Amino acid sequence: MNHPITALVIMGVAGCGKTCVSEALCQLSGATAIEGDTFHPAANIEKMSAGIPLNDQDRAGWLDSLCDELRRVDAMGERPVLTCSALKHSYREVLRSALPGLGFVFLELTPEVAAERVSHRPGHFMPSTLIDSQFATLESPVGEPLTLALDASTFSVEQLASQAHIWWQAHGLKRAV
């Protein structure tokens, strides 16, 4: 391991529980949550709301904004926990360029479970019709450095957050001062 993990990205397809796990993990660790969806430009939200998947070009500016926010929170002496789908290896590499020691917690689940969960999220811009495109885009991070994969179909939010917290502690988590 080149760097201790100082920040995390909670990643996976829509419906895997990124936001809930991030919130629970931040409660356990004293870290600062960054909700990646709030950084999408209006054009991206309109596109997804219309059932049109985002492409690499759509995501480029969004990823740059997330990098800026990771650096900003880190510079304040806080430990950021970012929620971001981070579906492709190239997207994760962009995020890794923001901070040395950026770890990833990959919340895995099946397309069926993801579609079921997304269909029950009132008021969210991501329709369940985009689940298939997310799985088609997903390049598994399993085997990448500083990456933990967890089964989001089997474990509760609290269990996932606890497992992520234990892993983070073992790999360098220091409580923000």
Residues of the chain with pLDDT under 70: 1-2, 121-129, 173-177
Spatial distance between the Cα atoms of 169 and 42, rounded to a whole number of angstroms: 37
Supply the pLDDT for residue 1.
45
What pLDDT, on the 0 to 100 scale, is given for residue 100?
87
- Residue 156, pLDDT score: 94
Give dist(CA 52, CA 44) in Å, integer.
9
- Token representation of residue 94: 């962009």
pLDDT computed for residue 176 by the predictor: 45
Distances (CA, A) of 7 to 19, 110, 132, 143, 163: 15, 27, 29, 19, 16
Give the number of other Cβ atoms within 10 Å of residue 154's Cβ.
11
> How many Cβ atoms from other residues are within 10 Å of residue 113's Cβ?
17
Domains of the chain: 7-170 (3.40.50.300)
Whole-model pTM over 0.85:
yes
Cα(6)–Cα(15) distance, integer angstroms: 26
Hey, what are 89's tokens? 């290896």
